[in-house]
């Protein structure tokens, strides 16, 4: 087993000492999409002692083009990304601890998830979740590495709470009109260059080397690269990272919540509290009316009124084929909650 990390140990800035440090660290990866998969695989192979990966989604055929931990079988069975990622990472490296959590990263579970975490890697595909990460990381003083990619572009920034500017310092409002991978497309190399940079920064930090204060971007198709030192942009009035921080994105909402998943013709509905839905019973109840009701380890999927429903055990439901919140709520009440 000593052979396993020999090449990485040969790399002078890490060495045997750095490798021993990595074995003691715990990395949280939020999102097991393209960036999450790529980071997770590199970190598992690098010998990070413990990796926790959380994701709210399940695997679809359109993911296989770049989400490297998943197979055709996973897509065919709509497997939860967190579960499939956990299994694959364990198969890659059985000497480390891996835990997959099939939930949404939200203000309710953020504090618990950030406990005993050395660093957080952004593997999300949306700014809503990133701003929750940003607030939580700032509040609980956990460093994190933002990464984003679309088309042939990638971007990254390392954020060290109390030292360097946070995402809120650089972007004063939630970008709503951005391009997503669904609307503008993406190529695998844009994912890989972004994840490679994030993982490198992560390995630097975990082995005692300073992270960069540069906002970096890559264009793997146009062969572009740019880096701007943003250290000076730390905002002394920042709502997320200053002494007077309010952590606006950690405010917990009451009651039912909905989110339109950008570019996917999908609405997510979440009940007020986390419920423990008996998926098998729900499947039996809707079976006579619904097309193809199937239950797997964490979710139930079925077809109804030409919409596709995916219900997770905690009650969270994705309804595909709707783009408005009111209709989605109605469908949720009619079929899931009843």
Partner 1 sequence: MNIHLNGKSIDLPGNVTTVSDLLDSYDIKKKISVVEHNKEIVPKGNYEQTTLADGDRIEIVHFVGGG
Residue at token pair 């990866």: 29
Q: Is 292 helix (H, G, I), strand (E, B) or coil?
A: strand
- Determine the interface stretch with partner 1 among 106-114, 142-150, 276-284, 323-331 (rule: CB under 8 A): 142-150
52 touches Zn ion by CB under 5 A: no
With residue 9 as reference, give the H or E element that holds it.
helix 6-10
235 touches partner 1 by CB under 8 A: no
238 touches Zn ion by CB under 5 A: yes
Distances from the Cα of 320 to the Cα of 39, 53, 80, 133, 303, angstroms: 28, 25, 16, 26, 10
Q: Is 232 helix (H, G, I), strand (E, B) or coil?
A: helix
Name the residue nearer to partner 1 (CB basis): 85 or 150: 150
225 touches partner 1 by CB under 8 A: yes
Footprint of Zn ion on residues 161-180 (CB under 5 A)?
166, 168-169
Using CA atoms, how far apart are residues 89 and 52, in angstroms rounded to an integer?
11
34 touches Zn ion by CB under 5 A: no
Rounded to the nearest 5 percent, the helix, strand and coil shares of the chain are 35, 25, 40
133 touches Zn ion by CB under 5 A: no
- Token pair in block for residue 310: 């995916």
149 touches partner 1 by CB under 8 A: yes
15 touches partner 1 by CB under 8 A: no
Name the residue nearer to partner 1 (CB basis): 103 or 304: 103
Using CA atoms, how far apart are residues 80 and 297, in angstroms rounded to an integer?
8
Name the residue nearer to partner 1 (CB basis): 157 or 206: 157
CB 37 within 8 A of CB 69: yes
Closest distance of CB 77 from partner 1, Å:
24
- Side-chain-side CA neighbours of 215 within 13 Å: the count stands at 14
Name the residue nearer to partner 1 (CB basis): 20 or 174: 174
Footprint of partner 1 on residues 159-188 (CB under 8 A)?
170-173, 175, 177-181, 184, 186
Footprint of partner 1 on residues 72-131 (CB under 8 A)?
122-127, 130
Question: Of partner 1, Zn ion, none, which one does residue 238 interact with (CB within 5 to 8 Å by kind)?
Answer: Zn ion
216 touches partner 1 by CB under 8 A: yes
Three-state secondary structure readout of 133-192: HHHHHHHCCCCEEEEEEEECEEEEEEECCCCCCCHHHHCCCCCCCCCCHHHHCECHHHHH
- One of 155, 200, 245, 256 touching partner 1 (CB under 8 A): 155
Residues contributing to the site for partner 1 (CB under 8 A)? 31, 33-36, 122-127, 130, 147-150, 153-155, 170-173, 175, 177-181, 184, 186, 191, 194, 215-217, 224-228, 230, 232-233
Residues contributing to the site for Zn ion (CB under 5 A)? 166, 168-169, 238, 240-241
């Amino acid at each position: 087993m000593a052979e396993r990390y020999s090449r990485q140990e040969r790399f002078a800035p890490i060495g045997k000492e750095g490798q021993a440090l990595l074995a003691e660290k715990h990395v949280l990866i939020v999102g097991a999409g393209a960036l999450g998969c790529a980071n997770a695989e590199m970190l598992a192979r690098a010998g990070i002692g413990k990796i926790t990966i959380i994701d709210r989604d399940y695997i679809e055929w359109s993911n296989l083009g770049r989400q490297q931990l998943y197979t055709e079988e996973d897509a065919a069975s709509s497997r939860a990304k967190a579960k499939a990622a956990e299994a694959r990472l364990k198969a890659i490296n059985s000497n480390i601890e891996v835990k997959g959590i099939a939930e949404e990263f939200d203000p309710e579970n953020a504090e618990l998830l950030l406990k005993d975490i050395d660093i957080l890697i952004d593997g999300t595909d949306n700014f809503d979740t990133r701003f929750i990460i940003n607030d939580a990381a700032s509040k609980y003083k956990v460093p994190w590495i933002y990464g984003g990619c679309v088309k042939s572009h990638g971007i990254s920034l390392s954020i060290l709470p109390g030292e360097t500017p946070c995402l809120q310092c650089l972007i004063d409002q939630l970008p709503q009109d951005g391009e997503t991978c669904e609307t503008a497309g993406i190529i695998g190399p844009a994912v890989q260059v972004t994840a490679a940079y994030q993982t490198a920064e992560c390995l630097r930090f975990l082995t005692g080397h300073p992270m960069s204060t540069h906002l970096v971007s890559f264009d793997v198709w146009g062969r572009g690269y740019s880096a701007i030192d943003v250290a000076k942009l730390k905002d002394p009035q920042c709502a997320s990272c200053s002494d007077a921080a309010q952590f606006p994105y950690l405010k917990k909402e009451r009651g039912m919540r909905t989110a339109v998943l950008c570019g996917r013709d999908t609405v997510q509905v979440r009940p007020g509290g986390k419920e423990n839905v008996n998926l098998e019973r729900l499947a039996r109840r809707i079976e006579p009316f619904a097309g193809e009701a199937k239950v797997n380890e964490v979710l139930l999927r079925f077809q109804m009124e030409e919409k596709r429903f995916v219900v997770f055990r905690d009650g969270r439901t994705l309804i595909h084929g709707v783009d408005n919140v009111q209709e989605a709520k109605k469908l949720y009440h009619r079929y899931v909650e009843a």
